Amino acid sequence: KNSLLRIADLSKEELLGILADADAFAHEQKDWQLPTRKLIANLFFEPSTRTHYSFESAEMQLGCRVSDFNAAYSSVQKGESLYDSVKTFEAIGYDAVVIRHTMDEYFKELTNVDIPILNGGDGCGNHPTQCLLDLLTIQQEFLSFEGLKVVIVGDIAHSRVANSNKEALDMLGAVAKFSGPDFWVDQNENFMPLDEAVEWADVVMLLRIQHERHEKHLQMSKESYLEKYGLTKEREARMQKHAIIMHPAPVNRGVEIDDDLVECDRSRIFKQMSNGVLVRKAVIKRAFGYSFDDK
Ligand code: CP
């Protein structure tokens, strides 16, 4: 089965193959559908807008039938485990499941599941389809990753995107640095101060402050955070002419990034969301082992 759990599980060839398929879904394979109708369940145990509904959009565009699992009205409320829930979907005829869960690496409990599992995010662990859609957005812009300079900025400690993006970018020949406050970012390893990084980078990738994963509230106003650690208009004005801004969203407007920059010319934030559908179509196609030649 072709699950997608972690970016680290993919070879460089597999990763580039998924990006190529995603790009084909934007162009010559726009209307391609799975030759047989698959039944997919989306199990979101944590809130989501982009991942949840772009998976659903991708599934529907591929001709799948889709069920939305509602944990609050399921037997999870009677104490059923994640493993038994997923085995139930397998037993009653589902062909694959998409899962987002609060637990880091929840999938380690699911090794006896025989249908593909597509990870929609595990705790502070992994978010492989987010990484793939970020890579697709960068590839569309710059065509190659070789030597590309990327700075990932903000709440690195709680992000499930930062480390997998860095690993993938390293594998593809890009140079990735981290930036942000010392309470979330190790200032000694691959670190670059933000004021230097905005002038250096081809890609400024901002991360959301993950309030829901913090034990204590941020002891600083939104305005102070933006001024000290965020992308202000003054910092944006010092970016290279060709450089782009990315953010996985949802965005805390006026905190990680000045509100006016969210939809500025160099922002690719909404483009990333559109690319999410393409990448998820490619990941579902891979899960079922099809090629575009299959009719
Ligand atoms: N970027 C992202 O994962 O957004 P959602 O939490 O809305 O899915």
Residue 35's pLDDT is what?
Answer: 97
Distance set, CA 156 to CA 9, 137, 153 (Å) = 21, 20, 7
User: Is any ligand 1 atom within 6 A of the Cβ of residue 180?
Assistant: no
Q: What share of the chain is helix, strand, coil (3-state, %, to 5)?
A: 40, 15, 40
Q: Beta strands 65-69 and 39-44: pairing type? A: parallel
User: Is any ligand 1 atom within 6 A of the Cβ of residue 208?
Assistant: no
Element (H, E) at 206: strand 203-206
pLDDT tens-digit map of 208-265: 987 776 767 677 889 999 999 999 999 999 999 999 999 999 999 999 999 999 999 9
Rounded Cα gap, residues 112 and 88, in angstroms? 12
Rounded Cα gap, residues 122 and 99, in angstroms? 8
The count of residues in the chain is 295
**What predicted TM-score, i.e. pTM, was given to this entire model?**
0.96
78 is in an annotated binding site: yes
Please give the average per-residue pLDDT across 176-204, as a whole number.
Answer: 96
Q: How far is C-alpha 206 from the chain's CA centre? A: 13
Atom of ligand 1 nearest to the CA of 49: 7
Residue 82's pLDDT is what?
Answer: 97
Element (H, E) at 149: strand 149-153
Query: In terms of CATH, what superfamily is 7-126+274-287?
Result: Aspartate/ornithine carbamoyltransferase (3.40.50.1370)
Please give the average per-residue pLDDT across 41-60, as a whole number.
Answer: 97
pLDDT tens-digit map of 102-159: 999 999 999 999 999 999 999 989 999 999 999 999 999 999 999 999 999 999 988 9
pLDDT tens-digit map of 87-97: 999 999 999 99
51: left (phi > 0), else alpha (psi -120 to 50), else beta?
A: alpha
Q: Which CATH architecture has domain 128-269?
A: 3-Layer(aba) Sandwich (3.40)
Query: Ligand 1 mean position to 113 CA, how many Å?
Result: 25
Identify the DSSP state of 33.
Answer: -
Task: Pull the structure tokens for residue 110.
Answer: 């699911």
Query: Ligand 1 mean position to 51 CA, how many Å?
Result: 5
Residue 213's pLDDT is what?
Answer: 66
Residue 215's pLDDT is what?
Answer: 65
49 is in an annotated binding site: no
- CB neighbourhood size of 104 (10 A): 13
Q: Where in the chain is the domain with CATH 3.40.50.1370?
A: 7-126+274-287, 128-269
pLDDT at 58 over 90: yes
List Cβ neighbours of 188 (8 Å cut-off, separation of 6 or more): none
Determine the number of helices (DSSP H) and then strands (DSSP E) in the chain: 9, 8
User: Is any ligand 1 atom within 6 A of the Cβ of residue 130?
Assistant: yes
Please give the average per-residue pLDDT across 46-65, as a whole number.
Answer: 97
Residue 19's pLDDT is what?
Answer: 98
Residue 200's pLDDT is what?
Answer: 98
Element (H, E) at 194: helix 194-200
- For ligand 1, mutation pick of 43, 44, 51, 126 (most atoms within 8 Å of CB): 51
Residue 217's pLDDT is what?
Answer: 67
CA end-to-end span of the chain: 21
